[in-house]
Structure 1
Amino acid sequence: MKKTSATLFSVLVLAGIAHAQTNVISTQMRPVEEAAKVRTIILAGAPDTVNFIPEDGNTYFTRMKAELSAAQGKVHATIALDGELAPVNQIGGLSDLDALLKSLSASREFSPAAVTLGKFGGKNQRFIPLMTNTFQMAANKKALQYLPKGANINALTYDQLTAWGKAMKAATGESKIGFPAGPKGLMHRYFQASFYPSHTGGIVRTFRSADAEKGWASLRELWAYVNPRSTSYGFMEEPLKTGEVWVAFDHTARLLPALMEKPADFVVFPAPAGAKGRGYMPVMVGMSIPKNAPDRAAAERVIDHMTKPATQALLMKEIGFFPVVKANLGTLSPGIQLAADGMNAVFAAKDGVVTQLPVHLGAKSGEFNKVYVDTFTRIVLRKEDIKTVLGEQAKVLNDLVQETGAPCWAPDVSTNGRPCFVD
């Protein structure tokens, strides 16, 4: 009911003031506090009045399809992950932004890698890079005394994480590791960014491999030292701040409030490595203009504002997302600096296995994510037979791949454009 109400509210807001303001739909910066900062701080210097409207990522594609069905839409610009923009691009819903990129590049320097992602493998620019981030881990300094002997926190292995959790539980009587495995958490990204790439070197093709079986067995062992309330956690900031959890995995922006409030209490570090390396997922957020936007010039003005170096610095300081243009960040607060150092450690890991967001599944992305969460529920929480579950869930994955024709993406080995079926 809440999702429906939120969507109806968005429609009503757009219908009432479609032409009075520049309407920006965003799947990012949706939490109430973040959205308030966007409206009052980030957009304060925009040349036009901007109506910033958060949209659930699960309903974003449906919302955009409905928007694009009209001769003239009400949305001027949209902010979303590259994986969320991809299906909109696949149905021809995004404008070419080559001229805008050229104009903006005269006054700011974009990351070349980010610009390339905005082409979706084609010739034309379909989104302007806005900001980037990744997933990492945070630990209360109280936990450091229980690290396994000889362990390097920036080069931790999954076996060492399990030993760490076991030692903390032995000393405190509590399970002090936490994951965002609740309904609003990003547990599916944990499996896609860290667990599967680290243990198997892939995400889809290796889904039911012998390496996957070993990985799931090790996660089941680790879970004995994971706080049971993890299945209700959406954001790891609060459990870290209260001390209910000492060691946690999450998106940097969802760890940031704890780091900013108590920077002296925490350390941050990359997720553990498995047999195939240390999986990580760069998160790219872009801004696009729908094909039927009511006022392209207004859309371009808000994109110009959001990608100015000064605004990029604000996004980092206020929201915790990192710039995609060269910007003078000045003196960062201790919490932001901590998050930035952690992100740099993730990207600098010598055994890193880079993982892309799923970008070829269109409207089926939600169902794809659900496969990994369902597999976790059955294997780890319900303790069902690992091989049986992987076999059954592989069929679900293959059906989705068959329906969408999705080719492989990193780190899965390429199938040269053919559908990326489970091996």
Structure 2
Amino acid sequence: MPRITVSRRAVLRTAGLGAAALAAGCTGFATTGGGGMVFLSTQFRPVDEAQRFRDLLARTISGVSYVTIEEGPFAGQVRSQVDAGATRIGLLGGLHGDLAPLADGYLEDVTDVLARLGDHRWPADYLELARAGSDRTWYVPWATASYILAAHQDALENLPSGVDPAALSYDDLLDWAVAARRAEGRPVLGLPAGPKGLLHRFTQGYLLPSFTGGQITTFRSAEAVTAWEYLRELWANCVPSSTTYDFMQEPMESGEVRLAWDHVVRLVSAPRQRPDSWRMLPSPRGPRGLGYMAVLAGMAIPKGSTDPELARRTIEALSLPRTQVELLRSNSFFPAVAADLPDDLSPAIAMEAQAVRRQQDAEDAILSLPPVGLGEREGEVSKVFQDTFRSIVLDGAPIRSTLDGQARVLQGILDELRVPCWAPDPPAGRCEVS
């Protein structure tokens, strides 16, 4: 199968203590038990995902204990330990937005690791992100993921005539949801709007960029008003229980949902069980293009690492193409290195790979990143999008006044943090909500 990469055009256009002992002194950690160098990560936090990765890690290298932590306290834990000169962590794993803010004084330069491995293995755009605006490399790209649609064969039978499911517009998606609801006598489209669902990523990285070309700088634009009008209409054709869905795979497996949007990891279970019944599709495009969010995870070495050489060996081992393919098999995160995907991948993973690739390679692709540099306050920014959805879509509040009010909240957070915007908004200067 073809290699999975992100096009340069899209990115540049938009822009030792054991785990139990460590956890005893740090809130927010999920522990593994056992000893070894601590690999602290914001990724694979659900119990089943974490265990599958620990099994892979144990098969790959010895002496490493995988510990998970939420994104909010992650940066604070690293900064406090490094500032105190008492680092108890050997290796870090996180998204670009978790690691890039630590580049200034809290991470080791890992350019030597890339030199040993050969930096040709990674797309140039990933390496550019890993430099965080400097001439050094602060993390090694580890894995990637995204968000796509999943459609059951029953839903595909209700696709409006002439519509290509692999090249949907947002209008097509709405027409499809309406047609399916009428044919089935009930809604079949589900969105992850539960307490732990990722619907805010849909508005941040998909809906708003597709309608407005931005996420923050266009938050209260006339095009944003249109986007929220659209989402209100789409929601009227969603399964009402969507407000309880954290992971779309569960209602997909039960048959309550036949058409869903979510993170690839949270979609794959039902298609894995019945691959002939499901099809994985790229997200829709809007007036400005096909907005999509690339989730890039990396591995970094903190200043004062408890075992910097073991950390480097672990990075090297996890960067091998065969190891990254195993991560794809186990946890549905795609290789960050140039890796040919084998023909014996499960059909569900292969379908996801094709859908992700279609998003990346679209001529009108608009790449978005999850928020960068917000640390513990990332949740406050996500809450702005969640509250906006709740007010406009669930409660029927006026769109213009709601956006104006939430824009003030959002600007206040960004002013306090003094961080630049992130893709697809321009990264230079002050991040202004407009």
Distance 1:247 1:191 in 2: 18
CA distance in 2, matches of 1:191, 1:89: 28
Aligned: 1:271 with 2:283:
yes
Equivalent runs, 1:381-392 vs 2, <5 Å: 381-392=394-405
Map 1:2-401; keep pairs closer than 5 Å.
8=23, 11=26, 20-46=35-61, 48-90=62-104, 92-105=105-118, 109-330=121-342, 331-401=344-414
Deviation at 1:295, TM superposition (A): 1.4
CA distance in 1 between counterparts of 2:259 and 2:401 reads 31
Contact 1:27 1:60 in 2 (8 A): yes
The one-letter amino acid of 1:421's match is E
TM-score normalised by L of structure 1 = 0.92
Deviation at 1:315, TM superposition (A): 0.7
Please tell me whether the aligned partners of residues 259 and 339 of structure 1 are also in contact (alpha carbons under 8 angstroms).
Answer: no
| Distance change in 2, residues 1:121/1:211 (3 Å) | same
Q: Which amino acid aligns with 1:54?
A: T
Amino acid at match of 1:325: V
Does structure 1 retain, via aligned residues, the 8 Å contact 2:73–2:376?
no
**Change over 3 Å in CA distance of 1:18–1:256 after alignment to 2:** closer
Alpha-carbon separation, structure 1, partners of 2:141 and 2:47: 23
SS at match of 1:211: helix
- In the superposition, the TM-score normalised over structure 2's length comes to 0.89
Pairwise CA RMSD: 2.3
Verify the 8 A CA contact 2:392 2:402 in the aligned structure 1.
Answer: yes
Q: Which amino acid aligns with 1:101?
A: L
Unaligned ranges ≥5, structure 1: none
Alpha-carbon offset, residue 356 of structure 1: 2.3
Would the alpha carbon gap of residues 36 and 329 (structure 1) be closer, same or farther in structure 2, given more than 3 Å must change? same
Residues 278, 97 of structure 1: CA spacing in aligned structure 2 closer, same or farther, 3 A cutoff? same
Deviation of 1:185 (Å): 1.4
Residue by residue, what CA displacement relative to the aligned partner does 1:265-313 show, whole Å, maximum 9, x if unpaired? Answer: 1111111122211101111100011112111111112111111122111
**Once the two structures are superposed, what CA deviation does each residue of 1:111-158 show, in whole Å capped at 9, x if it has no partner?**
222222111111110000111111111111110121122111122111
Q: 1:42, 1:315 within 8 Å by CA — same for their partners in 2?
A: no
Q: Distance in 1 between matches of 2:26 and 2:418?
A: 32
Q: Name the aligned partner's letter for residue 80 of structure 2.
A: A
Q: Secondary structure at the match of 1:208?
A: coil
Structure 1 residue aligned with 2:13: none
Indicate conservation of the 8 Å contact 1:236/1:248, yes or no.
Answer: yes
CA distance in 2, matches of 1:325, 1:192: 26
The percentage of aligned residue pairs carrying the same residue is 37
Distance 1:286 1:17, change over 3 A: closer
Structure 2 unaligned regions, length at least 5: 1-19
* Contact 1:118/1:129 (<8 A) preserved: yes
**Deviation at residue 244 of structure 1 after TM alignment:** 0.8
- What's the CA shift string for 1:204-240, capped at 9, x where partnerless? 1111111111111111111111112212211111111
Does the Cα contact within 8 Å between 1:72 and 1:293 map onto a contact in 2? no
Q: Which stretch of structure 1 is more off in the superposition, 181-190 or 347-356? A: 347-356
The 2-side partners of 1:45 and 1:259 are apart by 28
Once the two structures are TM-superposed, the CA of residue 89 in structure 1 deviates from its matched residue by 2.7
Question: Equivalent residue for 2:3?
Answer: none
Closer, same or farther: CA 31–17 of 1 in aligned 2, 3 Å: closer
Describe the SS at the equivalent of 2:341. coil
Q: Greater CA deviation, 369-378 or 53-62?
A: 53-62
Q: How many aligned positions are there?
A: 412
Counterpart of 1:301 in structure 2: which amino acid? R
Greater alpha carbon shift after TM alignment, 272-281 vs 380-389:
272-281
Query: How far, CA to CA, are the matches of 2:78 and 2:306 in structure 1?
Result: 14
Provide the secondary structure at the position in 2 that maps to 1:357.
coil
Please report how far the alpha carbon of residue 327 of structure 1 lies from its aligned counterpart in structure 2 after TM superposition.
2.9
Alpha-carbon offset, residue 372 of structure 1:
0.7
C-alpha distance after superposition, 1:319-369 (max 9, x if no partner) = 111112233533212111111111111112232211122224344322111
Aligned-partner Cα distance in 1 for 2:28–2:292: 38
